Structure 1
């Protein structure tokens, strides 16, 4: 089945298992509006589509522009107006064609005025006030700088009476071309504004696209920036579209299945813009990268908790301890390690928490670690510390995998050197040594998955389902560490064939373990078998 949709970001050793589907033609979409594209394309489902994958379509900048043109042509044909006017009306209604059609059919004049296409009509005066009307009109023309046959034109902005090139919108307010150019460039480049209002005070008329291009003249960079702002406005107003968040990337992604809040309670819509290299991001939220298997709401909750609690947790863990006798939380306020609990007067050593009477002058030699994790939480402070210890358990492992993933750049450099060394010491080609780079990619992807599994596990209720989830987590983590260890091994020419086979086999296994975890988690969302802590239940 041919489709423009991509259903997987993973690649397999066997070509027959690859889910990176290519095909289709963008030209067939040029004559379609957004609705037609979705109706015809989004219903396509891959036969091997996994539970944790979503249907989406990468779009180039030109494809988005084609969708804009299709919507503009549709409104232009229905209303019988120029395409530039239709575009301005659509922007005013946030590109909602149905709502615009309804409003325009009810009162075309009113919607044209509020959209800035037409000026507010001037008030009519009684016939008896004709002389006053003429006088007022004359003063108004002079104030606004409208040229007359009796006096030279004076620009109301720069007061240049020698300017011969002027521009005016449909409202008739005339200004010199130089002032229009400076004003338009400032609005576009400094303010990032695509809605260029008339410079006259209290005038709501908006410049059409041809007028903006004429005011900008030969400034190609600003014209390109203006066109980009128009496309970004279209994408921002369409809930089925999102721009790729990666810097300098102008691609977009359409994902209607993830455009509703209710859908985000059962799926994690990880998509790719289709650029090379592929940029993966979540369509449902603004979190960078892929945060599968945890839902958007829970991922945001976890990140907020990390921002709020990590520094506090580190400070408490470093600067306070519990009294060994009454479990009161104590802060060290001096350099001496001889501590006395103010609550129960128990004297102990700050270093080893043992009784001070047993130390004598040898207090500095207490270097044995005593695991007190089994102490019951008997009061509010103990419960608080137990909660902190639980949080740190998951946070430290989350942060560890995040740091390991960030070090992938260094691992890539080491791997490339090993690949070059393999070529020099064996008869393997550059393509044949790519198994090393592919293994690094798999390790990086799986560490990202593992990182977010700890965020999910933190909010899961204890029980059989959590136990099975943590079993899958443990198996994946163990396999990732084994593969990482293989990649770190020194290269010995006589063992390269064996190393290649081991890395290839382990890569396939690690990838399978990653898919098993993601697949089971995604099915758990659909089956509603995950049981969350109260704080999550209140949020979902």
Structure 2
């Protein structure tokens, strides 16, 4: 995917239908016949084929979102022959559903306008007065200069004499008051105070109504722009844009700090979130889940499972805090050991005992067929007979998965800090092995592979906690185990010291090969799991 030019980034060319039919059988193994190779034709690099569980998306700017609104407003304005501000209020009332708006409007225009908070078509849209303040006003607020189409002087229908505002009980000239089509008149001071409080204090925008109790007449954009200050008017329009994105099922703000991009995706409807994990990438370089708005990729876990898991972890916060402690005791000599790296291969400095930081078992078993660190032993809960024993078994099962989930999260953070050490090691390899800076990039790429795999492993334990025990679960845990073992081996290689030129060459080859293997195991786990959702292979203990 290229980011050059004016084309929309991150838009796959092979568009497909919005979602999948619930009863549709998807043949994921079918492949088309390859084209006959023509030796005279130039070699063309093909774009990577999109997976059936991937979605297409576009990254849009705020101005593009504003243009989308203006385009829809102009269409409705021309079709219904109403002012631009009325078209905007109607569209917001019907949540930008133009078809539903037209159906209701043509059926009964007056009722549609009244329900949206507008004046019925048989009555004037507004009865307004001029902006210049009266000398008797108490406020010294400055209003924005400039004429207004809704605030023109109407001397022919203008009442005479003083007017007592029903809110502040002060007398004003009618020229310093304002009323909408509902004929509820108040002084401009009270209007300014009211509108500023609604926008700045309460964060309201499209639903700001008349100050009269029980009146549902909506205040138009022009009125707000003419009455409030420039800063509040700017905030008002920002709130309108935010509401437009929030109302659209195909738009979502990027949740990362200081990012103003909006993601558009039409292939992740709510009904498909039990089969898809719609991960997208913003122009800011960060991943997010379009389905739930999670500010990172949580593949391969469904959005609902993520919410249930985070709620459960929050409910068991004391246990979670205890499990995230950075120290453990050596199971052989009981010496306190602190984990200061991402690798789980630990060596006690006192007794030299090598063990696994996760399960505290001997490390010698982790490179053999007896490796079972990732799999929870269900036998521990078989003999639970009474309520207390069952509760204990349930807690032990949760702690098993949470311990590994939290450990991979912690290790990923440590591996991220390991970048600095890796850069120093890369400089050392440059100086000692006569390698260029490009040739030592394999170390950084290996760290990237480790962090990516650890995040996937972290969420895989969340998924495993909610999976029902069957043959598919066994296969899932086998893939999980193979990836975890590959990650630990790569992490161990990355922490090796460099002694001479020969060791650099061998270490480079070992790290490169192991990083490629980690990437392969990661792709196998991810591809099999996400395809399993489409094939309905996974069964969960909760409703998804």
Query: Normalization by structure 1: what TM-score?
Result: 0.69
Residue equivalent to 2:449: 442
Q: Superposed, which structure 2 residues align to 1:71-470 within 5 Å?
A: 71-118=72-119, 150-161=160-171, 165-194=176-205, 195-219=207-231, 222-261=232-271, 263-275=272-284, 278-309=285-316, 311=318, 377=383, 379-380=385-386, 381-419=388-426, 433-470=440-477
- Structure showing the higher helix proportion among its residues: 1
Once the two structures are overlaid, the 10-residue window that deviates more, 511-520 or 111-120, is 111-120
Contact 1:119 1:171 in 2 (8 A): no
Distance 1:510 1:98 in 2: 51
- What is the Cα deviation at residue 92 of structure 1? 0.8
Residue equivalent to 2:523: 515
Distance 1:118 1:39 in 2: 46
Check 1:183–1:23 CA distance in 2 against 1; reply closer, same or farther (3 A cut): same
Contact 1:51 1:519 in 2 (8 A): no
1:340-360: CA deviations, max 9, x gaps?
xxxxxxxxxxxxxxxxxxxxx
- What is the Cα deviation at residue 529 of structure 1? 2.2
Distance 1:192 1:518 in 2: 41
Check 1:162–1:462 CA distance in 2 against 1; reply closer, same or farther (3 A cut): closer
- What is the Cα deviation at residue 428 of structure 1? 5.5
Structure 1 vs Structure 2 CA RMSD: 3.7
Check 1:476–1:173 CA distance in 2 against 1; reply closer, same or farther (3 A cut): same
1:293-350: CA deviations, max 9, x gaps?
122222323333333346469999xxxxxxxxxxxxxxxxxxxxxxxxxxxxxxxxxx
SS in 2 for 1:271: strand
Check 1:462–1:98 CA distance in 2 against 1; reply closer, same or farther (3 A cut): same
Question: How many residue pairs were aligned?
Answer: 426
Distance 1:22 1:404 in 2: 32
1:220-251: CA deviations, max 9, x gaps?
xx333222211121111111222222233222
Matched, 1:505 2:506: no
- What is the Cα deviation at residue 477 of structure 1? 0.8
Q: Superposed, which structure 2 residues align to 1:460-499 within 5 Å?
A: 460-490=467-497, 494=501, 495-496=503-504, 498-499=506-507
- What is the Cα deviation at residue 93 of structure 1? 0.9
Distance 2:92 2:18 in 1: 31
Query: Normalization by structure 2: what TM-score?
Result: 0.69
Distance 2:169 2:95 in 1: 37
Check 1:65–1:499 CA distance in 2 against 1; reply closer, same or farther (3 A cut): farther
Residue equivalent to 1:527: 535
Contact 2:313 2:320 in 1 (8 A): no
Residue equivalent to 2:352: none
SS in 2 for 1:117: coil
- What is the Cα deviation at residue 282 of structure 1? 1.5
- What is the Cα deviation at residue 496 of structure 1? 4.6
Contact 1:436 1:503 in 2 (8 A): yes
Check 1:158–1:447 CA distance in 2 against 1; reply closer, same or farther (3 A cut): same
Residue equivalent to 2:145: none
Residue equivalent to 2:28: none
1:467-516: CA deviations, max 9, x gaps?
22112111111122222223333455735555444434333322222111
1:5-29: CA deviations, max 9, x gaps?
xxxxxxxxxxxxxxx35578569xx
Distance 1:83 1:518 in 2: 49
Check 1:298–1:374 CA distance in 2 against 1; reply closer, same or farther (3 A cut): closer
Once the two structures are overlaid, the 10-residue window that deviates more, 228-237 or 99-108, is 228-237
Residue equivalent to 1:60: 61
Distance 1:497 1:38 in 2: 40
Contact 1:119 1:203 in 2 (8 A): no
- What is the Cα deviation at residue 39 of structure 1? 13
Distance 2:191 2:320 in 1: 57
Distance 1:62 1:77 in 2: 22
Check 1:224–1:480 CA distance in 2 against 1; reply closer, same or farther (3 A cut): farther
Check 1:109–1:314 CA distance in 2 against 1; reply closer, same or farther (3 A cut): closer
- Alignment gaps of 5+ in structure 2: 20-46, 124-156, 324-376
1:410-462: CA deviations, max 9, x gaps?
22343344455556667666555544443333222211110111122223233
- What is the Cα deviation at residue 85 of structure 1? 1.3
Check 1:425–1:66 CA distance in 2 against 1; reply closer, same or farther (3 A cut): farther
1:128-172: CA deviations, max 9, x gaps?
xxxxxxxxxxxxxxxxxxx96542344444455467654443334
Distance 1:44 1:202 in 2: 42
Distance 1:187 1:425 in 2: 66
Residue equivalent to 2:356: none
